Amino acid sequence: MQKAHVLRLFCRSTFSGQYRWHSQKARTPDFLEILGERYATDEITNVTPAILSKIPMRLHAQPSHPLNTLRTMIESHYPDFAHLSSLSPLVTPHKNFDELSFPADHPGRAVTDSYYINKGTMLRTHTSAHEVEVFGKGEDKWLLTADVYRRDEIDGSHYPVFHQMEGARVVSADASGLRELEEDNDRLSQHLTRSDIIIEDVPHVSPSNPAQPGHDPKHAELVARNLKLSLNSLMLHLFQGIGGASKRSLLEYAGLKPTFPSRAPALKWKSFSGVNGSKFWDVELSGKLRWTPPVPNKIGWAFGLGLERIAMVLYSIPDIRLFWSTDSRFISQFTPGQITTFKPYSKYPSCFKDISFWTPSDLSLHENDFCDLVRDVAGDLVENVEMIDTFVHPRTKRTSLCYRINYRSMDRSLSNKEVNKLKDELESRLEDQFRVEIR
């Protein structure tokens, strides 16, 4: 039986129980309660209280929130697709990685990159974790919006919880399915022709970005064209129709090397701008061709996009932390169904504090471990963290690290006394959890 060809564009938790010590981590309870269910912990548990507190917030479902407005606007562009936005973030590693053919040694599987509840349960790192499941339920056209979780650095454009939207469409791999694609391609082409938009394209198949041997060239061409036209019209809808670009706009493509050979060819939308320089946006959407086992005898595409990055551009929101703000000065600026320019309230002064320490010789400290600890201690009061020095003692061979932490609240001025208290707590927990020696 043929497999589908898919072109892919791309509750506060309570703690109870007896604690035990885990190497390189804080004291971990024997179990966690998440969304009303109890999960046993084990030696790889690395999810933190700060991350667990985000799970029930579901920003993409809050009525006036920019992410919800963006979600509903994209959904309105695909009215005949199923709109899914309530799937649990708790998945198995098999679902998150193996069903999507991630190699066993892929870095995304590492505890330094992903959040694990235990060996058998993790927080999804992408919406694709549900792709096989949704196709398996018989959905042929769908959009899926969800919060996803990745251990990450701390700065104005990265956050360990963010929101993705995945879209997919499959049709029968026979004459009727090909005719459906051809008719839709004609419709979308006419729509874009009537719109004053310049599209700078790149070939979606090339020697460095080839189609897979098992793909029928005619099928691959129709699918790739349908995907491009669909996303072109979406970008036009969001950035010219809603975002306010000048009438004539420019949409550029860039080449993208496939991550996996089974997902070639790959595509990336690079930027969208007014040709007269009235506005410019750098927006990326990537696409890849891959096999999808549960959809036999069908062909199709899928795309993925990050809602925060697009919303930051459309709303002129300068810091990704603001999406999590409960300050009325932020929330009151937004109306459901409307894109408005964010008006910054006073930017409060920053306070830099350096922290320097010797690491133990028998224990490695990953930068994401350090950033997670900073988030647990100071939450969103930290604007960014930067390693400014590393040093290996020539005689003892001990390693010294120095990080600069920029404290800046989005809502109020921080006193030096308050920041020093956070710094003291961070140093104490570093000594306690990672056995460092503060310098």
How confident is the model over 183-209, as pLDDT tens digits?
999 999 999 888 877 777 666 666 666
- Collapse the DSSP code of 158 into the 3-class scheme (helix H, G, I; strand E, B; otherwise coil) and give the result: strand
The pLDDT of residue 205 is 61
Q: Which is nearest to 228 in space by CA: 182, 187, 282, 188?
A: 188
> What count of other Cβ atoms lies within 10 Å of the Cβ of residue 409?
21
Nearest to 315 by CA among 298, 335, 297: 335
Tell me the H-state helices in 59-165. 66-77, 93-96, 131-136
User: pLDDT value at position 210?
Assistant: 63
Per-residue confidence (pLDDT) for residue 251, from 0 to 100: 57
User: Helices marked H in 195-306 — which ranges?
Assistant: 217-235
pLDDT tens-digit profile, the chain (439 residues):
444 444 433 332 333 333 333 344 456 889 999 999 999 999 999 999 999 999 999 999 999 999 999 999 999 999 999 999 999 999 999 999 999 889 999 999 999 999 999 999 999 999 999 999 999 999 999 999 999 999 999 988 899 999 999 999 998 888 999 999 999 999 999 998 888 777 776 666 666 666 666 677 778 788 888 888 888 888 888 876 555 554 455 555 544 444 544 455 555 554 444 433 434 444 545 544 443 445 677 888 888 889 998 899 889 999 999 999 999 999 999 999 899 999 998 788 999 999 999 999 888 789 999 999 999 999 999 999 999 999 999 999 999 999 999 999 998 899 999 999 999 999 999 999 999 999 9
Radius of gyration of the chain (CA): 24
> 171: which residues sit within 8 A by CB, 6+ positions away?
140, 177, 178, 180, 181, 298, 299, 300
Handedness of CA 67, 76, 141, 240 (dihedral sign): negative
- Maximum pairwise Cα distance, the chain: 74
Nearest to 320 by CA among 125, 88, 163, 90: 163
For the CA atoms of 373, 379, 381, 384, what is the dihedral angle to 10 degrees? 50
Q: What pLDDT, on a 0 to 100 scale, did the predictor assign at position 139? A: 93
Cis peptide before 79 (omega within 30 of 0): no
The confidence score (pLDDT) of residue 258 equals 47
pLDDT of residue 292: 43
pLDDT score of 438: 95
Q: Choose among 428, 264, 363: nearest CA to 23.
A: 363
